[in-house]
Amino acid sequence: MTDRFADKLLTWYDQHGRHDLPWHHDRNAYRVWVSEIMLQQTQVATVIPYFEAFMARFPTVHDLAGAPVDDVLSHWSGLGYYARARNLHKAAKQVVEEFGGKFPQDPEALESLTGIGRSTAAAIVAQAFGKRAAILDGNVKRVLARYHAVPGWPGQTAVLKRLWEHAEAHTPEERVTDYTQAIMDLGATVCTRSRPDCEACPVKSGCQAHARGETALYPGSRPKKAKPEKTTWMVILEDSDGRILLERRPPSGIWGGLWSLPELDPAFGPEELSEACEQQLGMNCGDPELISGFRHTFSHYHLHIQPVRLPVTGNTTVSDSDRLCWLHRDEALALGLPAPIRSLLTEPEQAALL
């Protein structure tokens, strides 16, 4: 028997839900998976053009698994949270090598793939295979926290446990593909974080937060902590042929695995930058030219970036070719670059607007 919550939600979805998103066409586990990973902490409108370009370049999991990681990162550039792209690439290789190129239909097997958690695995099972599985992404957490007036921040174990219990209880046996899309749509378009449109909500009659006039209290907020401020020099080293020196970042951490500009300790003064480049990179440089600095915010700190151009006047040989390489701008822009670095290499004067 269909849960009343699910029944009302499905009736609403038939009339008001989103039925024509790109990953709804030619629906399969690969396309659902890529869309789910892209949609993590990213709005649908932002994801759509990235998804379409990604599918054009990597139409199958075999194409993705066989591609160089730099190619994958370049098609992710600007979408943020780059660990998602690296994990996507690793998981594609796992699907090909361990599962013969076919996504498993078992949630636990899906969770064995890099970057796939409980809710993402359930979404793939429900959306691609039509099998009953409860999801609990950010939108669903908000809907259920309000409907059941579950206090507390969903990042806390006890709160998350209660929300999973509600998610399991409401997920129907029939039309599970539509239901999972419906509850995500409700959170994204009606039960929004701020100014939810409660009058348009199909389940408002049973919503405890609405009945109490306390929708703003649910879900509870993450305990606030001041973000630290950091500063760095971003060095645009340019040789006589117009090539730029790029440095691959370590595989883990911020911008992991992406190509970026070399960084220098902010303790160096502008007059010390040429000497610092010679000491750290073996490059003889001319006088520095400062570019307007700007601040880029990450999830857990603010980074003040001070860009500087330095013409290289002598030897351009690099000792670590796996980590450092000289590229013309058009070649560099074809790689996976963080959005601020891409902006610096295209329109340095505009980078301060990021």
CB atoms within 10 A of CB 322: 7
Q: What is the C-alpha to C-alpha distance for residues 65 and 55, in angstroms, rounded to an integer? A: 13
Cβ count within 10 A of residue 101: 14
- The pair of structure tokens assigned to 115 is 């970057």
Measured distance CA(177)–CA(129) in Å, rounded: 8
Q: Which of 261, 203, 241, 237 is nearest to 310 (CA)?
A: 237
- Distance, in Å, from the CA atom of 78 to the CA atom of 19, rounded to the nearest integer, reads 26
Dihedral angle sign, alpha carbons of residues 344, 345, 346, 347: positive
Helix (H, G, I), strand (E, B) or coil at 296: strand
Q: Which of 30, 25, 24, 23 shows the shortest CA–CA distance to 92?
A: 30
Of 80, 79, 104, 100, which is closest to residue 29 (Cα–Cα)? Answer: 104
Task: Check if 36 is active-site.
Answer: yes
- Residue by residue, DSSP assigns 206-249 as G-HHHHHT-GGG-SPPPPP-PPPEEEEEEEEEE-TTS-EEEEEP
Per the DSSP assignment, residues forming a β-bridge with 248 are 259
Please tell me which residue in 36, 52, 97, 214 is annotated as part of the active site. 36
Cα diameter, the chain: 77
End-to-end Cα, the chain, rounded Å = 52
- The token pair at 184 is 């995500």
Match 């009953």 to its residue by tokens: 132
Q: How many whole angstroms separate alpha carbon 337 and alpha carbon 194?
A: 33
Q: Which two tokens stand for residue 63?
A: 């194409």
Structure tokens at 86: 């690296």
Catalytically active residues are: 36
